[in-house]
Structure 1
Amino acid sequence: MEALLMVLIEALLSGVLEYMDSMLLNLVPMAFYAEQFLDQMLGRDVISELFNILFSFGVSLIILKFIKKGFDTYILWIDGDADTDPILYLTYLVKALVVAISFPTLYGWMATIVQNLTDKLLNIISQGVVVDFTSIITGIVSKGLLTGIVGVIFFGCLLYLYVKFLQTGLEILILRLGIPVACVGLVDSDQGVFKTYMQKFFQAMITVMLQIALLKLGLALVLNGHLIWALAVIVMALRTPKFLQEFIILSGGQGGGMMKAYHATRLVQMVKGVMK
């Protein structure tokens, strides 16, 4: 029975081997510039056309929001303070348009910085070691049934991490496409949804960087024979988005109101406990 299970485990790991080599190629560009791979797979330039449409839509919304806000404030007197200098609202409009127009360039700079930082982290972790999946699988199979089962779980988590990684890359792409629409919030003094939107954006980019670093660390641990530690690292990589949410709190909008209501409720409960 054990021999049969080992044959099955070896077959599973050998099947996974076909995907491992291609998985580690172009991880960072795939996350930060997913449109290049999507256009290549679709055979036409789809994402650029979507960006142009959403950019025109976002700029139109910014201008309409500025006109409506000025009309409600200075003519109908139902929104804001009519004594506010109109130059201030004009500054909000200019800021929204500048951010919407210049964001592709700003994103390119930011992606380059994050990519360079990720490359430095990977160089420290790997130290030039080339990952040979054939030798890894051979070593796992040769150490018995328990190690083989842990190895199957490890590579299963690795495949799932790769899918989640692609999902995060798509999230970054969608956030990039929606930036012109999110800039409508900059017309307001409190920045509207833009602040929360950018927090989500930075969280996704940090998630990519940490997941790639943890993936490489897990593979380095497997090469050194520490399969349990490698499994723990991969599980931690899968929990990275939830881990970041524990200290990157998205504020603003309905979520901010909900958080304030929650903290107020907790404060009332604490006061009641003290009084009792």
Structure 2
Amino acid sequence: MEVILVLLIVAVLNGAIVYIDEMLQELVPMTLYADQYMLAANGGSMVDVLFDIMLGFGISLIILKFLKKGFECYVMWTDGDPDSEPVGLVVRFMQAMVVAVCFPVMYGWMGEIAEDLIDQLMTAIGASTEYDWQTWVNGISTLGLTTAIFGLIFIICYFMLYFQFLMRGLEIMILRIGMPMACVGLLDNDKGVFKTYINKFFQSTLAVVIQICLCKLGVGMMLNIGINMNVFWGLACMVLAIKTPAFLRDFLIPTTGGGGAINNIYHSVRLVGMAKNLAK
């Protein structure tokens, strides 16, 4: 019975490695430039077309909000501080326009930095070498049922992580397209929605870097089946890679309402004091 189960698992692994060899290629650019791989047959970039459309709407909203804030602050005196210098609003307006228009160039720089960082990290951890998956499968078939089960779990986790890469690529693509709209928040003193938006953007990009490194490290550990404990280390790297977005979310996304927990405690104490005064 054990031999039959091992043979079944080995058959599944043999079918999976046909796709895995292709998945490991160009994983970084596929995540950072997902649109180019989605439309590889037709050529071009879907993001460029959609970004130009959103850029027109974004610039229009930036101009309208600039005029609205200037009119309400310095004419109607109903918003902001009329005694403040208008140059501050003008500087924020110029900042919003520059970021919205120049974002594709800045994203290209960031993409190059991310790719170079990942290449250096791959070299440092020694996991950027070619892998022989067939040798790994052949080795698992001789190590018993337990090792075969762990190998199957590893492959399942790898496919789950690969789908996460695809979703992360789509997420980054949507953030790239919507950046001109987010730049409208730069006209506010607290940066408005732009602050959370750009934090989410960097969180997604950093998650890609960490996940790819853990994925490559996990593959390198798992394929070195000469050491039994490497099977567990490889599986642990893959599971942690899957959980990376939730891990980063705890400290990369700031709390809303400038002041954090201390500010919330202060307002809570004020509300309690007001309630006591009303009760008296």
TM-score (norm 2): 0.88
Which residue, 250, 253, 260 being the options, matches 1:249?
Answer: 253
Cα-to-partner distance string for 1:155-194 (whole Å, 9 max, x where unaligned): 0000100000111111111111111000000011111111
1:273 is matched with none
1:134 is matched with 134
2:115 is matched with 115
CA displacement at 1:125 relative to structure 2: 2.1
Q: How does 1:1-276 map to 2 (within 5 A)?
A: 1-41=1-41, 45-126=45-126, 129-225=129-225, 226-252=230-256, 256=257, 260=261, 264=265
How many angstroms apart in 2 are the aligned matches of 1:215 and 1:128? Answer: 11
Change (3 A) 1:127 1:173: closer
Change (3 A) 1:118 1:44: closer
SS of equivalent residue, structure 1 residue 247: helix
Identity over the aligned pairs, expressed in percent?
A: 46
Change (3 A) 1:113 1:46: closer
Contact 1:196 1:251 in 2 (8 A): no
Q: Which runs of 5+ in 1 are unaligned?
A: 269-276
Contact 1:39 1:47 in 2 (8 A): no
Deviates more, 1:124-133 or 1:191-200: 124-133
Give, as a single letter, the amino acid of the residue that structure 2 aligns with 1:84. S
Contact 1:93 1:187 in 2 (8 A): yes
Contact 1:72 1:78 in 2 (8 A): yes
How many angstroms apart in 2 are the aligned matches of 1:128 and 1:161? Answer: 18
Cα-to-partner distance string for 1:188-239 (whole Å, 9 max, x where unaligned): 1111111111111111111000111101101111122211110011001011
How many angstroms apart in 2 are the aligned matches of 1:71 and 1:190? Answer: 19
SS of equivalent residue, structure 2 residue 252: coil
CA RMSD, Structure 1 to Structure 2 (Å): 2.1
How many angstroms apart in 1 are the aligned matches of 2:116 and 2:137? Answer: 31
How many angstroms apart in 1 are the aligned matches of 2:233 and 2:141? Answer: 18
Cα-to-partner distance string for 1:27-49 (whole Å, 9 max, x where unaligned): 11111111211222566643321
Cα-to-partner distance string for 1:40-78 (whole Å, 9 max, x where unaligned): 256664332111111111111111111111111122221
Contact 1:200 1:250 in 2 (8 A): no
Contact 1:2 1:145 in 2 (8 A): yes
Count of matched residue positions in the alignment of Structure 1 and Structure 2: 264
Cα-to-partner distance string for 1:91-140 (whole Å, 9 max, x where unaligned): 11111001111111111111111111100111122366321111111111
How many angstroms apart in 1 are the aligned matches of 2:108 and 2:120? Answer: 18
CA displacement at 1:4 relative to structure 2: 2.0
Contact 2:133 2:223 in 1 (8 A): no
How many angstroms apart in 2 are the aligned matches of 1:230 and 1:98? Answer: 45
Give, as a single letter, the amino acid of the residue that structure 2 aligns with 1:264. I
CA displacement at 1:262 relative to structure 2: 9.8
Change (3 A) 1:262 1:131: farther
CA displacement at 1:247 relative to structure 2: 2.2
Change (3 A) 1:263 1:3: farther
TM-score (norm 1): 0.89
Q: Which runs of 5+ in 2 are unaligned?
A: 270-280
Contact 2:128 2:216 in 1 (8 A): no
Contact 1:66 1:187 in 2 (8 A): yes
How many angstroms apart in 2 are the aligned matches of 1:32 and 1:128? Answer: 19
Give, as a single letter, the amino acid of the residue that structure 1 aligns with 2:26. N
How many angstroms apart in 2 are the aligned matches of 1:164 and 1:250? Answer: 23
How many angstroms apart in 2 are the aligned matches of 1:33 and 1:78? Answer: 45
